[in-house]
Each structure stands twice: as structure tokens, then as C-alpha cells.
């Protein structure tokens, strides 16, 4: 099986490292509009060759590991792939992407979201085993071709990922709460502190809590602008519900209602009871 990866940053580069370990993968080529990324990917040995976008169409599987708006644009230029080609996107939103797939290649297309990543980006951010033991969500798989569905499931199983299936609409709402809203909060936290504190105070006093909560603000602004735009309504709902919770806590603190404050903190503790099960 010959694979092309469009986008040679964190997700695409890490995917290449993992795919290299699979015996049924014969070759991996990469494509990226960023010339420095091309050079870095070759230097790091992430892919066998760097090719132009048109040449990716010769491969059995094409992964789109690029920002969500780039995925939509790329799909428009893949309408002439062979009928057995599998196109797998790794975007963080799903509904608008799926709605944008040209009908001519809807059977070729598999919508996937690997729930993994770091705050870093670019080829040098690529790490081995980024996908191992992580969740991958496959959306609206009943509308993909039988061959393409099996190819995607085989690859993700071979990467030792945990597969979950749901509609694109369900995925985007869940992702807004679990992934997208936390990024919005992290960026806002970083901006709040930078507007109030001098650089030397941040460096002196920022400890584990602040560093952990602001870590996501290192993520690619271009990528997250696209995600916020595509999942706008769900993210707004998530932010508004978060604002309500934060306002409730603020009012309890203002009113010296410490029993309520403690109750809110205890309720928050329960999240990690779930996560650690």
C-alpha cells in the first residue's frame, strides 16, 4: 500500500513515523505547500519523497493532515482520483468538511479525527507513537465506500488506536466541549495575564498551574482560527455554558458563600474520577 500525506507538521509527520513501522505500507510520500517543511521532513526522514499535490493522486491512500479549510480546498482538487483510492482527513471538525466533499468522491472519503496532539507544530514537532492507544473518531462511515472503510479501519487498528463511530454532528458538539473550548480558554487566559502582568513577573511567578492551563495557547493560530470558524455555533454554546459556571463561582466568592464554593470545587473533582477509570 502506497501512502501520501498532505501536510508534514505534527499530525502528518507523526503519522508518517508510525506508518513506517507497518509491514503493509510500501512507501510514504509527503506534500506540503511550505518549502521549509518539505526540507525539514526530508532531513528528519519522515517521508521517502516530497512530491507535488498532483502526484499524491497516484497513491492508494491520501491523508489530509492540514488545517480544516485546507482540507476542503484539497478535496475540490481530488475529484479525479481512481475509484478505489482512499482519502482520509484528520481534521478537528467534521460536519462542514463532510458537507463539502464533492459527490464524485464521497465513496473515496473517510472522515476521521484522531484525538491526539500536542501544542507544538511543524515537522520538528513530529513524535513517534503519537497515535498509539489514542482514540480516533470515524464519522458517517456508512456513506464511505466499503473498500475505503476497511482500509481506514485496518490502518487505525494497526496504529493501535481505539476506534469510535458517530455522526459528524455529534462529533462536532462533543469536540467543542472536550477540545475546542479548552483551547479558547487557554488563549484567553494567556491574553488576560499578558495584559495585566509584566514579562518579568510572568517568568518569575508562573508555576505549574498557569503553565498547564496556558500550554494550549502555543498551538497554531492559523489552525485554530479555522476550527473556531467551522465549529462556531457549538463553540459559542460551550463558551456560554462555561461563562455561566464561572459566573456562578464568582458570585459565590463575592457573597462569601464558601459552602457553595467548596461544593463547586468538589463537583469539579469528579471529572477526574471519570478520566482515571
| pLDDT one-digit tens code per residue, 49-70 | 999 999 999 999 999 999 889 9
Number of domains in the chain: 2
**Do residues 144 and 181 share a domain?**
no
pLDDT of residue 144: 97
Which residue stretches of 159-231 are H helix?
168-175, 181-196, 199-205, 208-214, 221-230
Residues paired with residue 28 on neighbouring β-strands, in sequence order = 3
- Count the residues in the chain: 277
- Point out the domain boundary residue: 136, 166, 196: 166
Per mean pLDDT, which range of 10-19, 27-36, 199-208 is the poorest?
Answer: 199-208
Q: What cell was used for 259?
A: 459552602
| Interval 78-103 mean pLDDT | 95
Closest CA to 95 of 156, 32, 176, 151: 176
| pLDDT one-digit tens code per residue, 179-207 | 999 999 999 998 988 888 787 777 777 77
**Do residues 135 and 183 share a domain?**
no
Predicted confidence band of residue 46 (pLDDT cuts 50, 70, 90):
very high
| Interval 247-263 mean pLDDT | 95
The domain of 248 spans 171-275
- Point out the domain boundary residue: 150, 166, 182: 166
Closest CA to 110 of 121, 119, 98, 96: 98
Q: Are strands 109-115 and 135-139 parallel, antiparallel or unpaired?
A: antiparallel
Determine which helix (DSSP H) or strand (DSSP E) holds 87, and give its type and residue range: strand 86-89
| Interval 77-92 mean pLDDT | 96
pLDDT of residue 277: 64
Which residue stretches of 33-115 are H helix?
35-43, 68-76, 95-100
**Do residues 30 and 116 share a domain?**
yes
| Interval 120-128 mean pLDDT | 89
- Does 99 score more than 70 pLDDT? yes
**Do residues 206 and 256 share a domain?**
yes
Predicted confidence band of residue 138 (pLDDT cuts 50, 70, 90):
very high
**Do residues 206 and 271 share a domain?**
yes
**Do residues 181 and 132 share a domain?**
no
As a whole number of angstroms, the distance between CA 124 and CA 47 comes to 13
**Do residues 15 and 88 share a domain?**
yes
- Point out the domain boundary residue: 166, 188, 219: 166
**Do residues 27 and 145 share a domain?**
yes
* Residue scoring higher pLDDT (269 or 50): 50
How much is the mean pLDDT over the chain? 92
Is the distance from CB of 140 to CB of 116 less than 8 angstroms?
no
| Interval 204-211 mean pLDDT | 76
As a whole number of angstroms, the distance between CA 263 and CA 43 comes to 54
- Does 96 score more than 90 pLDDT? yes
pLDDT of residue 211: 81
User: The domain that contains 160 carries what CATH number?
Assistant: 3.40.50.720
Amino acid at each position: 500500500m502506497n501512502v501520501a500525506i498532505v501536510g508534514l507538521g505534527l499530525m502528518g509527520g507523526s503519522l508518517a513515523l508510525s506508518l513506517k513501522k507497518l509491514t503493509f505500507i510500501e512507501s510514504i510520500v509527503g506534500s506540503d505547500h511550505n518549502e521549509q517543511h518539505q526540507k525539514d521532513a526530508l532531513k528528519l526522514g519522515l517521508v521517502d519523497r516530497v512530491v507535488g499535490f498532483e502526484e499524491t493522486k497516484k497513491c492508494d491512500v491520501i491523508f489530509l493532515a492540514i488545517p480544516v479549510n485546507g482540507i476542503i480546498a484539497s478535496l475540490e482538487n481530488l475529484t479525479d482520483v481512481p475509484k478505489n483510492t482512499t482519502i482520509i482527513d484528520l481534521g478537528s471538525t467534521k460536519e462542514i468538511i463532510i458537507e463539502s466533499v464533492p459527490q464524485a468522491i464521497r465513496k473515496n472519503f473517510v472522515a476521521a479525527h484522531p484525538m491526539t496532539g500536542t501544542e507544538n507544530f511543524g515537522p520538528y514537532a513530529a513524535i513517534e507513537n503519537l497515535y498509539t492507544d489514542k482514540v480516533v473518531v470515524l464519522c458517517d462511515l456508512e456513506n464511505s465506500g466499503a473498500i475505503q472503510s476497511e482500509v481506514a479501519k485496518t490502518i487505525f487498528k494497526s496504529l493501535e488506536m481505539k476506534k469510535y463511530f458517530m455522526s459528524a454532528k455529534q462529533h462536532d458538539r462533543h469536540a467543542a466541549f472536550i477540545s475546542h473550548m479548552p483551547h479558547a480558554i487557554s488563549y484567553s487566559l494567556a491574553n488576560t495575564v499578558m495584559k495585566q502582568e509584566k514579562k518579568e513577573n510572568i517568568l518569575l511567578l508562573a508555576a505549574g498551574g498557569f503553565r498547564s492551563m496556558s500550554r494550549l495557547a502555543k498551538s497554531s493560530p492559523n489552525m485554530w482560527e479555522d476550527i473556531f470558524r467551522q465549529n462556531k455555533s457549538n463553540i459559542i454554546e460551550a463558551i456560554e455554558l462555561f461563562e455561566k459556571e464561572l459566573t456562578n463561582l464568582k458570585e459565590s466568592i463575592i457573597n462569601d458563600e464558601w459552602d457553595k464554593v467548596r461544593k463547586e470545587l468538589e463537583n469539579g473533582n469528579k471529572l477526574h474520577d471519570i478520566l482515571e477509570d
